[in-house]
Chain A
Amino acid sequence: DAMVIQNPRYQVTQFGKPVTLSCSQTLNHNVMYWYQQKSSQAPKLLFHYYDKDFNNEADTPDNFQSRRPNTSFCFLDIRSPGLGDAAMYLCATSRRQGTTGTDTQYFGPGTRLTVL
């Protein structure tokens, strides 16, 4: 089945120690997204890639970066995790249909990040 895969499902890191989360997709979608979701809150968009074009949300901290080496894979790098970065990180994909709107987003299972 076509799907969005995130690894690892659970990640523990130390304060200030760089961490990378990965996402892969078999849907062949143009767009890949990274969201941060804290407890009992809606997902917050960090950035997205439309093909190779990177789009950063204005309020995404510089501590968060992303790479998309090919259509299937996308990585989230947190350069110096703080306690406030502990959250669920969700990857999603979609096809972009023109400029009138974003089509259905398909989400991975998420990676829960703990910062000690």
Chain B
Amino acid sequence: AQSVTQLGSHVSVSEGALVLLRCNYSSSVPPYLFWYVQYPNQGLQLLLKYTSAATLVKGINGFEAEFKKSETSFHLTKPSAHMSDAAEYFCAVSLNKFYFGSGTKLNVKP
């Protein structure tokens, strides 16, 4: 069965600093990988999606993620954090259904 691991349930960065949120999936390559963002009392919003067309995927709000098969990773990055990026982020893999990671709450300090 697929599993998704997000290292760090809480990440705190200063405004303007690099954001790195980690996601690792179990070894069989899934058809699709996703990052979603969730703001308080909201649903999940798609940030970006990997479909094997390109290993570096660009998403909304300046986020991007790189698929690394050798490391079974799909880490999310943003060069410069903004206060509005404070939210919870979920990595997910897709087979017959979605398998979500446990989520990482991003705090952005002024």
Q: Which residues of A contact B (CB under 8 A)?
A: 4, 6, 40-43, 45, 48, 88, 90, 92, 99-110, 112
Contact between B43 and A110, CB atoms less than 8 A apart:
yes
A92, A101, A106, A108: which contacts B32 (Cβ < 8 A)? A101
Chain B residues contacting A100 (CB-CB under 8 Å) are 31
Give A44's nearest chain B residue, CB to CB.
Answer: B100
Contact between A42 and B90, CB atoms less than 8 A apart:
yes
The interface centre, meaning the residue of A4, A48, A109, A112 with most chain B CB atoms within 10 A of its CB, is A109
Chain A residues contacting B46 (CB-CB under 8 Å) are 104, 106
Q: How far is the CA of A48 from the CA of B102 in the complex (A)?
A: 21
Pairs A-B, 7 closest by C-beta atoms: A101-B31, A107-B43, A42-B100, A107-B44, A102-B94, A101-B94, A109-B43
Chain B residues contacting A104 (CB-CB under 8 Å) are 32, 34, 46, 49
Q: How far is the CA of A48 from the CA of B44 in the complex (A)?
A: 17
Chain A residues contacting B95 (CB-CB under 8 Å) are 101-102
Chain B residues contacting A103 (CB-CB under 8 Å) are 32, 94
Chain B residues contacting A40 (CB-CB under 8 Å) are 9, 88, 103, 105
Interface band, chain B: 20 to 34
Contact (A43, B44) CB under 8 Å given A104-B34, A104-B49: yes
Chain B residues contacting A6 (CB-CB under 8 Å) are 43
Q: How far is the CA of A43 from the CA of B90 in the complex (A)?
A: 9
Beyond contacts A42-B103, A101-B94, A102-B32: 13 other A-B pairs, Cβ-Cβ < 8 A, are: A40-B9, A40-B103, A42-B100, A42-B101, A43-B44, A43-B100, A88-B41, A90-B43, A102-B96, A102-B98, A107-B45, A109-B43, A110-B42
A4, A45, A88: which contacts B98 (Cβ < 8 A)? A45
Chain A residues contacting B97 (CB-CB under 8 Å) are 45, 48, 102
Q: How far is the CA of A40 from the CA of B38 in the complex (A)?
A: 11
Q: How far is the CA of A102 from the CA of B34 in the complex (A)?
A: 11
Contact between B43 and A42, CB atoms less than 8 A apart:
no
- Least Cβ distance of A53 to chain B in Å? 13
Contact between B32 and A42, CB atoms less than 8 A apart:
no
B30 on interface, CB distance cutoff 8 Å: yes
